Amino acid sequence: MTQLRTGRRRYYDIFSHCYDAFIRLHSRQNEDDTRDFLVDAAHLGGKCIPRILDVCCGTGSVILTFKERCPDALAVGYDFSHGMLSRAQEKNRGDTVFVEGDAAALPFAEDTFDVVTCSHALYELKGETRQTALREMKRVVRPDGYVLVMEHEVPRHPVVRFLFHVRMASMGAKDAREFVRGGLDPFRRIFPSVSLSHSRTGKSKLVSCRK
């Protein structure tokens, strides 16, 4: 793992102690709306799919919610931060599996999962790592499956938009900002079929990809 990624991993190990509280504060009542929107999409019209992988799962909000709805599914959460995965494991009431590793090298065979999700994380990965991670998601999803990526939308409110750009700048800037603004291009370079929708609040966008 590069030095940059090691630093980021340590950052999340520390952040993990207050991550859920921070997200609650930041999102207020909209948190469930956003997460549920992704889980609804992974639910494929109310049907429980058998195998789901959540890449960059953090403290497990998406994968654990999915598992509550579909207790019989094989649910795997994947992240490179030991701290984030420890918090996820503490909340794990079922048999969700958590695996530690880099999104750019998924330790799963090709065509393993029916759905691969990734929420609010891809924008943090730098150029080539992000494209490699997307290629990896494509590799491990089944030919008839979906890769569902949820990302921040650029906020409309000027003050919130300013704070958003400050955060982007703190993340290594241009690259992350271009990705968030870049719409579907980074996805279209990898997947032949890509579509876009938004959560009810409009704060997050969902990119659905098929291989």
Using rule CB under 6 A, residue 125 touches ligand SAM: yes
Using rule CB under 6 A, residue 141 touches ligand SAM: no
Sequential DSSP letters for 47-87: PPPSEEEEET-TTSHHHHHHHHH-TTSEEEEEES-HHHHHH
Using rule CB under 6 A, residue 39 touches ligand SAM: no
Tokens in use for 79? 């992240």
Of all residues in the shown chain, the one whose CB is closest to ligand SAM is 58
> Which is nearer to ligand SAM, 19 or 187 (by Cβ)?
19
Residues from 47 through 76 that contact ligand SAM (CB under 6 A): 56-58, 61-62
Q: Which residue has the tokens 């919130």?
A: 160
Using rule CB under 6 A, residue 123 touches ligand SAM: no
Rounded Cα gap, residues 113 and 70, in angstroms: 15
Q: How many residues bind ligand SAM (CB under 6 A)?
A: 20
Rounded Cα gap, residues 166 and 51, in angstroms: 38
Residues that bind ligand SAM (CB under 6 A): 5, 8, 12, 56-58, 61-62, 79-81, 84, 102-104, 119-121, 124-125
